[in-house]
Amino acid sequence: MGKERTILEGKQFKLTIDRLCHQLIEIHDDFHNSCIIGIQPKGTFLAQRLHKRLLELTGLETIEMGLLDVTFYRDDFRTREKPLAANKTIMDFLVENKKVILIDDVLYSGRTVRAALTALEHYGRADKIELLSMVDRHYNRHLPITSDYTGIKVDALDEEYVSVEWMEVQGKDKILLFPKKF
């Protein structure tokens, strides 16, 4: 790729995950009426990592978790050059009257989160919806959406690209900033 800059990796990456978990525990306590929903595809690894760590930290046997596909809820899905391939939504529960924690890796324009909010309506009316993002690119937001829980804020120019890499896929946990989208 060349000229990418590592923003976060290794021990700091793990500490960031732990901090986010502790913030969630502080607010959601025993997660009795709360659920975690990862936004497909890139929020999947963060949601799974948080879920696993929350179970370890709390000693709970279970915390409801789902994975939500938003492909056909996006406002740009018809403007693509080739057909989009949807991911599978994996949710065996409704969100009716629950506290929902939506999880995504990078919050940039807000459009993916808006699509997730629309898709989530098919699973009931949540009592409350919060957003957790590993990276908040707080410039150039297109919609008035903010994270309730943020791993790290990154000041990136519009043509720059932020990528979160996961041990499960790339063999190392890290956040990279590229000079432009690749």
pLDDT at 20: 98
Contact 137, 108 (CB under 8 A): yes
Using alpha carbons, select from 127, 170, 131, 159 the residue that is nearest to residue 33.
Answer: 127
**Residue 124 domain-assigned (yes or no):** yes
- In a domain? residue 2: no
Structure tokens given for 159: 């043509």
Is the pLDDT at 78 greater than 60? The verdict is no
Global pTM reads: 0.92
- Whether residue 175 lies inside any domain: the answer is no
Task: Give the pLDDT of residue 156.
Answer: 82
Instruction: Please check whether residue 5 is in contact with residue 177, taking contact to mean a CB–CB distance below 8 angstroms.
Output: yes
Counting the structural domains of the chain, the total is: 1
Please determine, for residue 160, whether its predicted confidence score (pLDDT) is greater than 90: no
CA–CA separation, 133 vs 103, rounded Å?
6
The single-letter code of the amino acid at 149 is Y
Q: Is the pLDDT of residue 75 over 80?
A: no
The CATH number of residue 85's host domain is 3.40.50.2020
13 in a structural domain: no
What is the extent of the structural domain holding 127? 27-156
Domain-located, residue 137: yes
Q: Which of 21-25, 99-103, 141-145 has the lowest mean pLDDT?
A: 141-145
pLDDT in tens, 20-52: 999 999 999 999 999 999 999 999 999 999 999
Residue 164 lies in a domain: no
Q: How far apart are CA 32 and CA 61, in angstroms?
A: 11
The Cβ of residue 6 has, within 10 Å, a number of other Cβ atoms equal to 12
Asked if residue 182 has pLDDT above 60, the reply is no
Got the DSSP string for 41-68?
Answer: TTHHHHHHHHHHHHHHHH--S--EEEEE
Q: Is the pLDDT at 8 greater than 80, yes or no?
A: yes
Amino acid at site 122? H
Could you tell me if residue 176 is inside a domain?
A: no
What secondary structure does DSSP assign to 103-150, as a single string? EEEEESSSHHHHHHHHHHGGG---SEEEEEEEEE--SS-SSS---SEE
Alpha carbon distances (Å) from 75 to 102, 142, 144, 163: 19, 12, 16, 22
| The pLDDT of residue 79 is above 90 | no
